Amino acid sequence: MASIKISGLEKRFHTVHVLKGLDLAIEDGEFISFLGPSGCGKSTLLFCIAGLEEINEGTIRFDGRDITDLGPRERNIALVFQDYALYPHMSVRENIAFPLRQQKLDDGTIGKQVAWAADVLGIEALLDRLPAELSGGQRQRVAVGRAIVRNPSVLLMDEPLSNLDASLRVRMRTEIRKLQKELGITVIFVTHDQEEAMVLSDRIAVMKDGIVQQFAAPMEVYNHPANRFVAGFIGSPQMNFLPAELCGATAGHVVGVRPHDLKPGTVPGGLTLSGELMLVEPAGPFQFLDVAVGGHVVRATCSDPAGLSPGERITLSAGADAVRYFAADTGLRLTPSVTETESRLHAL
Ligand SMILES: Nc1ncnc2c1ncn2[C@@H]1O[C@H](COP(=O)(O)OP(=O)(O)OP(=O)(O)O)[C@@H](O)[C@H]1O
Ligand SMILES: [Mg+2]
């Protein structure tokens, strides 16, 4: 258990500037996700925290103590990799015991700690098997067992669920969250799956090009994205972005509205768009509608598609509070006052 404070972290690989003046303060016992597209620097940041990558500038503190120059072994962290990296010739028991053997603990202590980790993860019956004799989910549990067996202060996980099928991913993520709550451990979880980050995390660090774009609780990031990139990356299907002139907003703005907030009909004081219905796509409890509005395809939702057929004109609307504004040049979210918003949308 530890708090982590990263200040002014710079990381370059030769001429490639990967992490650019990064600041993050993580509380003791928090579950944090690093979320962002491939190549944005998530794993590099995780490895810097683990001490597996040296940093060029900045400091990393655990519980206020500067650990920037300490090696990985001295940081009391544990890392779970995407491919689990289990030793194929060792039994599950020996895989989990491995970090304790490296610490040269006695057999009694090792036996007790392995039994504890196996019990926490429900893998007692697998202890004498080899990794090749396990399913993907079981291997994942063994990798987590090997990570927690030393009681690390910080558990770092780099896309630990990406090798699992969809239903197992959902089950394992619930287990990981439960485990973290039970152990009260600080966890950093790297993922490029926004849904995974949303359901698991206390806070999400959304990253792009080596810069943290926003660091906040999941619903804060969803409802109040700092910029257009975050707004587009979080939420599925993606937020619609439209130029101001289509929506009656001030020039230089981009208007954003999520498909789930945009529905057929009109909302007094809200955003109204009209266009040709191109596609009705069933999605279980509701349907997605693709509508061509002024040369843009806008995605909306609808709970009852009766009477809607492609080729028809359709009017869509969203409440004023569901509409987001971004500066067209910087992408930063703008927060016009409620009256400003209403008068803008009334101008339609
Ligand atoms: N050892 C290295 N030498 C040179 N460049 C590297 C090295 N490791 C990573 N990079 C570069 O740093 C950038 C960030 O890589 P990183 O692995 O941190 O991305 P990531 O966000 O984890 O992506 P992914 O989701 O694909 O795992 C990439 O442009 C990558 O090519
Ligand atoms: Mg990575």
315: left (phi over 0), alpha (psi -120 to 50) or beta: beta
The reply to whether ligand 1 has any atom less than 6 angstroms from the CB of 13 is: yes
At residue 71, the pLDDT reads: 92
- With the most atoms of ligand 1 within 8 angstroms of its CB, the residue from 16, 38, 55, 213 to mutate is 16
291-342, pLDDT tens digit by residue?
A: 999 889 999 999 887 778 899 999 999 999 999 999 999 999 988 654 455 5
Pair 88, 132: CB distance under 8 Å: yes
Task: Tell me the pLDDT tens digit for each residue of 112-157.
Answer: 999 999 988 889 999 999 999 998 888 988 999 999 998 898 999 9
User: For residue 190, which atom of ligand 1 is closest to its CA?
Assistant: 22
Take residue 336 and report the two structure tokens written for it. 């016009």
d(CA 275, CA 62) in angstroms, rounded, equals 55
Domain 4-231 has CATH 3.10.20.310: no
| CA separation for the pair 246, 265 (Å, rounded) | 17
For CATH 3.40.50.300, the residue range(s) in the chain are 4-231
Using the atom order of ligand 1, give the atom closest to the CA of residue 14.
Answer: 4
- From-to residues of CATH 2.40.50.140 in the chain: 237-346
Query: What's residue 347's pLDDT?
Result: 43
Q: Cα(40) to centroid of ligand 2, in Å?
A: 8
Ligand 2 midpoint to CA 44 (Å) = 7
pLDDT of residue 337: 58
Enumerate residue ranges in the chain where pLDDT < 70: 1, 336-348
pLDDT for res 339 = 45
Query: Does the CB atom of residue 191 touch ligand 1 within 6 A?
Result: no
> Ligand 1 pocket, 38 CB below 6 A?
yes
CATH of 237-346, one of 2.40.50.140, 3.30.365.10, 3.40.640.10, 3.40.50.2000: 2.40.50.140
What pTM value is reported for the model? Answer: 0.91
